[in-house]
């Protein structure tokens, strides 16, 4: 499989190595200095650039009939526009706030737990997320996905809100509180906490390096070739 990489920073370089290890060829590596370069001769594109460039890179790939896997976050307010672009070009696009296999299983556990907690009015929740100082968006796309899944399964929460400290156990309605920290070179750590007056339940995913994200992105790229439409990692892993 011939891959075009949009975004050739630290993450892009790890994706390149994983792709090569899995027997693929990287035919194009686009950094900010080469913005706008089309994915000629590529079977699939993997987009891990910046929120400012992501939408145009998606548009470019779809216009050239190249399936695109999008790992950049911070553009989700344009999701409706992206869906329209995919339909107009009859193209293929797969997006995820996090491509780690472990994180996507963590998402499923979070949804299950939120559904159980919906029947337990004594518990309140919040999300903690920690990333490296180079990450541009806060809260992270992964934290937003966790919050939206809680909202989906828990009737007393709606939306999310960035906060400076964890709420007390008395508040049970409104947006899901998210606490974001940017520390050193932390790859990524996310926790969902449920607290009552009597106890606390915490589920956590911690990434040790970027390889898990890169492997998931390449697996997604392998999966999307030959398919049409807009997809997520749930489709790749066949989880609900």
> pLDDT for 51-90, tens place per residue?
889 999 999 999 999 999 999 988 989 999 999 999 999 9
> pLDDT for 109-162, tens place per residue?
999 999 999 999 999 999 999 999 988 788 998 899 999 999 999 999 999 999
Which CATH superfamily, name and number, covers 101-207?
Dihydrodipicolinate Reductase; domain 2 (3.30.360.10)
**What was the pLDDT predicted at 171?**
56
Query: Which CATH entry fits the domain spanning 2-95+211-237: 3.40.47.10, 3.40.50.720, 2.60.120.10, 3.40.50.300?
Result: 3.40.50.720
Residue 209's SS3 state is coil
Q: Which of 33, 29, 36, 40 is nearest to 7 (CA)?
A: 29
- The pLDDT of residue 185 is above 90: no
- The pLDDT of residue 172 is above 70: no
Q: CB–CB of 213/13 below 8 Å?
A: no
Instruction: Give the residue numbers annotated as catalytic, written as ranges.
Output: 131, 135
Q: What is the model's pTM?
A: 0.77
* Chain region(s) in the chain for CATH 3.30.360.10: 101-207
b/e per residue, 49-87, with b = 16+ CB within 10 A? bbbebbbebbebbbebebbbbbbbbbbbeeeeebeebbe
* Strand partners of residue 240: none
């Amino acid at each position: 499989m011939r891959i075009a990489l949009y975004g050739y920073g630290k993450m892009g370089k790890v994706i390149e190595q994983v792709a090569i290890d899995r027997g693929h060829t990287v035919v194009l590596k686009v950094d900010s200095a080469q913005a706008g370069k089309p994915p000629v001769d590529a079977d699939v594109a993997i987009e891990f650039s910046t929120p400012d460039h992501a939408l145009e890179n998606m548009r470019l790939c779809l216009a050239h009939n190249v399936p695109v896997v999008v790992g950049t976050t911070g553009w989700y307010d344009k999701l409706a526009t992206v869906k329209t672009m995919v339909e107009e070009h009859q193209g293929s696009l797969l997006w995820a706030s996090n491509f780690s296999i472990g994180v996507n299983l963590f998402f499923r556990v979070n949804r299950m737990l939120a559904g159980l907690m919906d029947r337990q009015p004594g518990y309140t929740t919040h999300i903690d997320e920690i990333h490296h100082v180079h990450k541009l968006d806060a809260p992270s796309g992964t934290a937003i996905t966790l919050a939206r899944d809680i909202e989906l399964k828990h009737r007393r929460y709606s939306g999310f809100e960035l906060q400076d400290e964890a709420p007390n156990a008395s508040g049970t309605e409104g947006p899901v509180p998210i606490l974001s920290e940017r520390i050193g070179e932390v790859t990524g750590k996310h926790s969902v906490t449920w607290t009552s007056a009597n106890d606390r339940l915490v589920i956590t995913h911690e990434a040790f390096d970027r390889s898990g994200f890169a492997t998931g992105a390449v697996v997604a790229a392998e999966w999307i070739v030959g398919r049409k439409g807009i997809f997520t990692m749930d489709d790749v892993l066949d989880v609900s």
